[in-house]
A = this chain, B = another copy of it.
Amino acid sequence: MTTRSLTLLAGTALSLALNSAPAAAEEGMWTFDGFPRAKVQAEYGWAPDGAWLDKVRNSAVRLTGGCSASFVSGSGLILTNHHCVASCLFDNSTSGNDLLDKGFVAASLPDEKKCPGQQAEVVTKITDVTGDIKRAIGASTGEALIKARDARIAEIEAAGCTDREKTRCQVVTLFGGGQYKLYTYRKYSDVRLVWAPEDRAATFGGDPDNFNFPRYSLDGAFLRAYEDGKPVRTPNHLKWNPRAPKEGEMTFVVGNPGSTARLYTASQLAFEREVRLPVTVATYSELRGRLIRAMKESPEHEREGLDALNGIENSLKVYIGRTKALNDQTFAARLAKAETDLKTKSAGMAGIGDPWSEMDKAVQAYRPLFLAYRFTDPAGELYGYAQTLVMAAAERAKPNAERLPGYTESALPLTEKRLLDSAPVYPWLDELRLEWSLSKAREYLGADDPDTKLLLGRESPEELAQRLVSGTKLAEPVVRKQLWEGGQAAIEASDDPMIVYARKLEARQRELEKQVDEAYSGPATAAAAKLTEARFAAFGDTIYPDATFTLRISYGKVVGWPERGAQVPYRTTLGGTFERATGSPPFDLARAFAAKEQQIDKSVTYDFVTTNDIIGGNSGSPVIDRAGTVIGAAFDGNIHSMGGNYGYDPVLNRTVIVSTAALQEALETIYPSPRLVKELAAK
């Protein structure tokens, strides 16, 4: 799993998304049914109409790996980022044929390669089910609230999508519990790799340049959706427009921002700053160090560890950026002021009560559970497979409405696909992650803690990780398939050490899940519902829900920003790459850039920035002009966008985009694909 740049980040599952104060300037990740037409019209003198919005919505693709994308031809061709297909390149590589390193150009349709675990989804319908869910919740509280809600969600989803081969239904919690909407998707579970540049072309500047601008990154790639072994027909697609962006022109970004926390209450922010972020940064930093060193051990390790390292470094940069934002005194004061404003405005409103105190109580109750909840969930692909198999065996035996969210009828197909798709597992890397997570558990919980004893027994983290990884057969898809199909009986009969280990942890994990629901998730959902009422009452429909990895649209314009007294230019050119290259990694030229320097048109716009409000999960989002044509793929934010999880700053926050102009030059000259050039140019 790649989590680089703007891909959806792990570890935010408990984030409760709460809506902010009224959106300022270009702020906002708007739902399509809540797009602020009048505001945009007033600010820009033009706003898209319903037909325009429908068209781009029907062309927008969600990639279940954690990215966004769009159809750009009538034959299922999908534009996204290179870093969104890095895992696919990685999974299709061998030590003799490193596609991540070399890039990949499929000469013809039959050469296009399947991406394990990947699925493309297009929203076809959005239905408001708020009343339905709230009735099901009724007066319940704590864990009972979560159970009642999830049960009703499971029923609604099951009833909504009876054809689970081609559709997916998902009820989304908006405003942390203020609204519930049923999203219906057309899904394509066979997604194949079509074109990707060399890794170095996309990651030029590496981690040092990640989240920076000026930038010189060819972070674009193409996939294709298939069905029944054939490319899908996609009459709804965006027109490919390989022109340079114009400074000041209006842009729209359509994609799936993963998660934001724009109006966490002060208590929730304090928990982030005081507890979650420090633990996360310290532990991930150590993992990063272990992996950096392990990758020097051999060329195989260097290749096999790269995708994981990129993901870890990206996550870390995000978490460190968030830490800085919350520790920035000006930024923190702004967030505090927004809370005070809302309290003032909603004072005395009927039925609101004091949701801030309720939220505070929930957070205080969560604090003593946090470390146990976090560290009783070991890391690694192989343990993850085991955990899924063990949980699924028990859950699938229950009625749909009583299952945990990931195992309901509507959720099972993707869970199954991710479990059974064939993808390489590197035992050394899995052992490294498992050992790390177990040793961090012991560190944070303490050697004498009962959970540490449950996790380790009398073994050391090193011994245990080694025993489990070397002994398990779960790297084989066929073994996973047998256990999946064998259900509870097969799980109980298994002596695979990883399955045995996952079984050992299961009861405690379920117990902690319940405790967290009771202490935090339930009360926080109830508080969030009240906060949402307060906000709508105070600000009307000038507010947008926090990001939930569902389809949103943001508007903005092409423009640089002021930095230390100077203006950062809005774009770079392909030629700039050659000036920035030092020859030393990660500032070494991609081989094709070096080889074709003379042929490359150096004046072509490479990357550019806009004021669009996006966040992780938006990676690969099409950047669309007024005419509705695509002029780029968003792949990153600038350094100031790090605080975007908590608040948007129109002066400094910027979206970073690779231009279609640069991708066109790449398709024609650097990594030539006449086939794609032709397909993209088709009327």
User: Is A189 in the interface zone, CB < 8 Å from B?
Assistant: no
B327 touches A446 (CB 8 A): no
**B584 with A460: CB separation less than 8 A:** yes
Let me know if A40 is at the binding interface, CB within 8 A: no
* Interchain nearest-CB distance for A16 vs B (Å): 20
Q: With a CB–CB cut-off of 8 A, which chain B residues contact A324?
A: 278
Stretch at the interface among A63-71, A101-109, A171-179, A207-215: A207-215
Taking CB atoms, residues of chain B closer than 8 Å to A327 are: 273-275, 278
Please state if B289 and A463 are interface contacts (CB–CB under 8 Å).
no
> Complex: how many Å from CA A273 to CA B274?
9
Distance A532 CA – B207 CA, assembled complex (angstroms)? 46
Tell me whether A585 and B460 are in contact in the complex, defined as CB-CB below 8 angstroms, given that A281-B281, A327-B275, A443-B208 are known contacts.
yes
- Whole-angstrom distance between the Cβ of A636 and the nearest chain B Cβ: 15
On whether A582 and B288 interact (CB within 8 A), knowing A278-B323, A297-B297, the answer reads: no
Main SS at interface, chain A? helix
A292 at the binding interface (Cβ < 8 Å): yes
Q: Which of A422-468 contact B (CB under 8 A)?
A: 432, 436, 442-443, 446-448, 458-460, 462-463
Closest-by-CB residue of B relative to A274 is B327
How distant is the Cα of A214 from the Cα of B290 in the complex, in angstroms? 30
Extra A-B contacts (7), CB below 8 Å, given A274-B327, A285-B286, A459-B582: A207-B443, A208-B443, A282-B282, A286-B289, A286-B292, A289-B290, A463-B584
Question: Is there contact, CB below 8 Å, between A212 and B446?
Answer: yes
- Residues in B with CB closer than 8 Å to A285 are 281-283, 285-286, 289
Total A residues in contact with B, Cβ cutoff 8 Å: 49
Q: CB within 8 Å of B: which of A133-168? A: none
Q: Is A294 an interface residue (CB 8 A)?
A: yes
Interchain CA distance A459-B460 in the complex, whole Å? 40
User: A11 near B: Cβ within 8 Å?
Assistant: no
* 11 A-B residue pairings within 8 Å (CB atoms): A273-B327, A278-B278, A278-B327, A285-B289, A286-B292, A289-B292, A289-B293, A290-B290, A293-B432, A458-B583, A460-B585
Least CB separation from A316: chain B residue: B282
Please give the distance in Å from A377's CB to the nearest CB on chain B.
20
Residue of B nearest to A458 (CB): B582
Instruction: Give the residues in chain B near A320, CB-CB below 8 Å.
Output: 278, 282
Q: Tell me if A287 counts as interface (CB < 8 A to partner B).
A: yes
Residues of B contacting A443 in the complex (Cβ-Cβ under 8 angstroms): 207-208
CA distance A176 to B459 in the complex (A): 48
Chain B residues in 8 Å Cβ range of A286 = 285-286, 288-289, 292
- Chain B residues with CB under 8 Å of A283's CB are 285
Residues of the B chain whose Cβ atoms lie less than 8 Å from the Cβ of A582? 458-460
Q: Known: A293-B290, A293-B294, A447-B209. Contact between A278 and B275, CB under 8 A? A: no
A207: chain B residues at CB < 8 Å are: 443
Tell me, yes or no, whether A205 is within 8 Å of chain B by CB.
Answer: yes
Q: How far is the CA of A270 from the CA of B273 in the complex (A)?
A: 13
Which residues does chain B contribute within 8 Å of A273, judged by CB atoms?
A: 327
Chain B residues closer than 8 Å to A446, beta-carbon distance? 208, 212
Which chain B residues border A323 with CB–CB below 8 Å?
278
CB neighbours of A290 from chain B (8 A): 289-290, 292-293
A316 to B283, CA, bound (A): 11
